Amino acid sequence: MRATVIYAAGDVRVEEVPDPVIQQSTDAVVRVLRSCICGSDLWPYGSKSASEGPQRIGHEFLGVVEDVGRDVAGLKAGDVVLAPFVWADNTCDFCREGLQTSCRNGGFWGRDGIDGGQGEAVRVPQAQGTLVRLPVGEDAALLPSLLTLSDVFPTGHHCAATAGVNPRTTVTVIGDGAVGLSAVLAAKRLGAERIILMGRHEVRTDLGREFGATDVIAQRGEEGVERLLELTGGDGTHTVLECVGLKPAIETALAVVRDGGVVSRVGAPQYSEVAMDSGPFMRNITLTGGVAPARAYIDELLPDVLEGTVDPGRVFDRTVKLDEVPEGYRAMAHREALKVLVQ
Amino acid sequence: MRATVIYAAGDVRVEEVPDPVIQQSTDAVVRVLRSCICGSDLWPYGSKSASEGPQRIGHEFLGVVEDVGRDVAGLKAGDVVLAPFVWADNTCDFCREGLQTSCRNGGFWGRDGIDGGQGEAVRVPQAQGTLVRLPVGEDAALLPSLLTLSDVFPTGHHCAATAGVNPRTTVTVIGDGAVGLSAVLAAKRLGAERIILMGRHEVRTDLGREFGATDVIAQRGEEGVERLLELTGGDGTHTVLECVGLKPAIETALAVVRDGGVVSRVGAPQYSEVAMDSGPFMRNITLTGGVAPARAYIDELLPDVLEGTVDPGRVFDRTVKLDEVPEGYRAMAHREALKVLVQ
């Protein structure tokens, strides 16, 4: 079959790889219907060293079960299923606490000999715990929105949920990428009435407004901070959802959070330290968030997607075929596309 | 009257200062019955530069109301009252949210012309919001434990409460100073069954055991981390209460917290950055805590102190007269005394 392999920064190829087969009794093999490219895929696309060797890539996909190992209950060939962006047994203590990203028997797609999602099919380890059956057909119009449940929408939700967003909290979202926009949608869904989106790409912030942003700040750095404080009577907002992962973004987050407030971050940190010095200490600022345990939120978010109450699939603004995945990476890296769906 | 003035590192004097009088209609004047020396007083005692000029000091006291301004309701001369370690109106939005440390009309003792607590009397601004009436006499045996409600016990409680300590969480407390021991007591009071105290002063950790610590780790640094991981099956604890404020302490905290867990800090940070890099991010670690809004917790903690369910005053292991305050600082700085009561 064909699948995507990353060789080095800027060097993504779709090539022939071995067909996946059941290797362990807890495996399933899934034929991929839709996958996509994640903002976090752009980190290796921007910096991977060729000396690390080629690696399968892609961690968001949904598809059709083709085969299951003998210890996989509740799934059969033909089921349409969603895979969260980590695989997990969903039975260990961490999983039961809703932290499947720390599963004692789980791991990440595309590492340690595990397939990536940007391919024709995937061997899914811990299939019973990992896969979620979707009550839709292979050609459902909802597939793009359902696919976002694999990562980007639960990641936005994780950011809002760990920040404690509710109808009484004001919210700042930093970043107008697909995660930032998903965080806007999640904050709105959790009842926030004031959502200030910091981003400077008008097409994206326009979608942010449709998702629920009440204000948009295009300025960055000190100017952006000043503007936000102006909008909030000098106080900042109760919660700040940091959806970028770069040092200036986390610095802005600390500058615009209200005393007693929460900065939640879901952008994979491209920095090593955060200035949690006596300033945030005297203001009782909490720093939370992290990699999102998507699986923990799917049961809650799925009904809203099925009913069309939310339409997180609108973050996809380009669709490519598997062979065109390298062009999809290029378009996302150059900000020509917000998020690329692979069909 | 006499009061304590700090001139520079190591130079604390008790000297004659003007008697306090009502200056604003919201003031009260309180004659001090008991005050004490805080671990945080040791920071200026260790590093204050003489060029900053002399400053009144002390932020924990209880006493008897001598006079009140005409806008102070609910308090009258003769009332025994407790002062939390910040003064606050207790009516602004931050105060109503329980964050009196960020009061819009409040401030800190010993700054900007406000008296310090280590003296014979204190002018109390925003007296109606600041002072808490105590249903005891001037000579109550409970005065030391009641005095801890001014700072050290609510600070330990803030650390445990913001960490989310409950009967199902395991707890590490870093630091065997008065705040660390108070955090042990607070965690026990909140129902924690496993409390691991990291500290190396046996007299103190012995009191920690009486307060509720189930395990004590005397080793520090990597050795201490290894020992803690050994005790917790390699996982660390759900919550870590960091009661020191030095860089190695916050580093240890991040190393011993379980995936998905919370590090709460109440030791005033003597560092500028925290390594909240991709490690804690992938493990979904939350960093919370800060300066404790003692006032917010007094209503909850006071009944337990009055009933003797908890005895936080046991952290006082030396009593001095006002004239002996300089000796009290010396003893605490040299770790000869855990916490010094001023009578």
Nearest Cβ partner of A281 from B97, B278, B291?
B291
Please tell me the predicted confidence (pLDDT) of residue B310: 97
Q: Which chain B residues are closer than 8 Å to A277 by Cβ?
A: 269, 271-273
* Mean predicted confidence (pLDDT) in B191-205: 97
Confidence of residue A102 (pLDDT cuts 50, 70, 90): very high
Q: What number does CATH give the domain B2-151+293-342?
A: 3.90.180.10
Confidence of residue A127 (pLDDT cuts 50, 70, 90): very high
Q: CA of A108: which chain B residue's CA is closest?
A: B282
CA distance B38 to B246: 16
Q: Which chain A residues are closer than 8 Å to B86 by Cβ?
A: none
Those residues with Cβ within 8 angstroms of residue A139's Cβ, 6 or more apart along the chain or in another chain: none
Q: What number does CATH give the domain A156-289?
A: 3.40.50.720
Q: Which chain A residues are closer than 8 Å to B290 by Cβ?
A: 280-285
Chain A nearest-CA distance from B162, in A, is 9
Confidence of residue B188 (pLDDT cuts 50, 70, 90): very high
CB contact under 8 A, B162 and A286: yes
Q: Answer whether B64's CB lies under 8 Å from B124's CB.
A: no
Nearest Cβ partner of B268 from A162, A278, A287?
A278
- pLDDT tens digit string along A256-272? 999 999 999 999 999 99
Two tokens, residue B76:
């009258």
Q: Answer whether B313's CB lies under 8 Å from B148's CB.
A: yes
Q: CA of B292: which chain A residue's CA is closest?
A: A284
Say yes or no: A221 contacts chain B, CB-CB below 8 A: no
- pLDDT tens digit string along A170-183? 999 999 999 999 99
Buried/exposed code over A234-263 (b: 16+ C-beta within 10 A; e: otherwise): ebbbbbbbbbbbbeebbbbbbbbbbbbbbb
Nearest Cβ partner of B274 from A102, A274, A282?
A274
Nearest Cβ partner of A268 from B275, B281, B283?
B281
Please tell me the predicted confidence (pLDDT) of residue B215: 98
- pLDDT tens digit string along B266-289? 999 999 999 999 999 999 999 999
* Mean predicted confidence (pLDDT) in B113-123: 97
Please tell me the predicted confidence (pLDDT) of residue A275: 96
Q: Which chain B residues are closer than 8 Å to A284 by Cβ?
A: 99, 101-102, 162, 289-291, 293
- pLDDT tens digit string along B47-75? 999 999 999 999 999 999 999 999 999 99
Fold match between B2-151+293-342 and B155-289?
Answer: no
Q: Answer whether B175's CB lies under 8 Å from B224's CB.
A: no
Q: CA of A286: which chain B residue's CA is closest?
A: B288
Closest CA relative to residue B64, chosen from B136, B5, B157, B169: B136
H/E stretch holding A196 reads strand A195-198
Q: CA of B287: which chain A residue's CA is closest?
A: A287
Two tokens, residue B319:
């009593």
Say yes or no: B166 contacts chain A, CB-CB below 8 A: no
Confidence of residue A290 (pLDDT cuts 50, 70, 90): very high
- Lookup result for tokens 């391919």: A119
Select the residue from A270, A276, A277 to test the B interface by mutation, using most B Cβ atoms within 10 A. A276
- pLDDT tens digit string along B295-341? 999 999 999 999 999 999 999 999 999 999 999 999 999 999 999 99
Say yes or no: B278 contacts chain A, CB-CB below 8 A: yes
Confidence of residue A36 (pLDDT cuts 50, 70, 90): very high
- pLDDT tens digit string along A228-239? 999 999 999 999
Q: Answer whether B301's CB lies under 8 Å from B149's CB.
A: yes
Say yes or no: B234 contacts chain A, CB-CB below 8 A: no
Cβ pairs bridging A and B (under 8 Å): 98
- Domain B155-289 fold is Rossmann fold (3.40.50)
Question: Is residue A167 classed exposed, middle or buried when 0-12, 13-18 and 19+ CB atoms within 10 A define those classes?
Answer: exposed
* Mean predicted confidence (pLDDT) in B213-221: 97
Q: Which chain A residues are closer than 8 Å to B85 by Cβ?
A: none
* Mean predicted confidence (pLDDT) in A108-125: 96
Select the residue from A259, A262, A291, A297 to test the B interface by mutation, using most B Cβ atoms within 10 A. A259
Chain A nearest-CA distance from B272, in A, is 4
Please tell me the predicted confidence (pLDDT) of residue A170: 98
- When the pLDDT of each residue in chain B is averaged and rounded to a whole number, the result is 97
Say yes or no: A105 contacts chain B, CB-CB below 8 A: no
CA distance A236 to A243: 17
- Lookup result for tokens 């019973």: A128
Beta partners for residue B239, in sequence order: B171, B262
What is the percent of chain B where pLDDT is above 90? 99
Spans of all domains in chain B:
2-151+293-342, 155-289
Largest CA distance in chain A: 61
What is the percent of chain A where pLDDT is above 90? 99
The number of residues making up chain A comes to 343
Confidence of residue B217 (pLDDT cuts 50, 70, 90): very high
CB contact under 8 A, B282 and A275: no
Say yes or no: A268 contacts chain B, CB-CB below 8 A: yes
* Helix %, strand %, coil % of chain B (to 5): 35, 25, 40
pTM value? 0.96
**Model-level ipTM above the cut of 0.90:** yes
CA distances from B272 to A257, A287, B134 (A): 18, 15, 39
3-state SS assignment for residue B218? coil
Nearest Cβ partner of B269 from A94, A268, A277?
A277
DSSP state for residue B68 in the 8-state scheme: E
CA distance A58 to B37: 58
- How many CB atoms lie under 10 A from the CB of residue B113? 10
Please tell me the predicted confidence (pLDDT) of residue B155: 98
Say yes or no: B8 contacts chain A, CB-CB below 8 A: no
Q: Which chain A residues are closer than 8 Å to B272 by Cβ?
A: 275, 277
* Mean predicted confidence (pLDDT) in B215-231: 97
Alpha carbon of residue B255 to chain centroid: 25
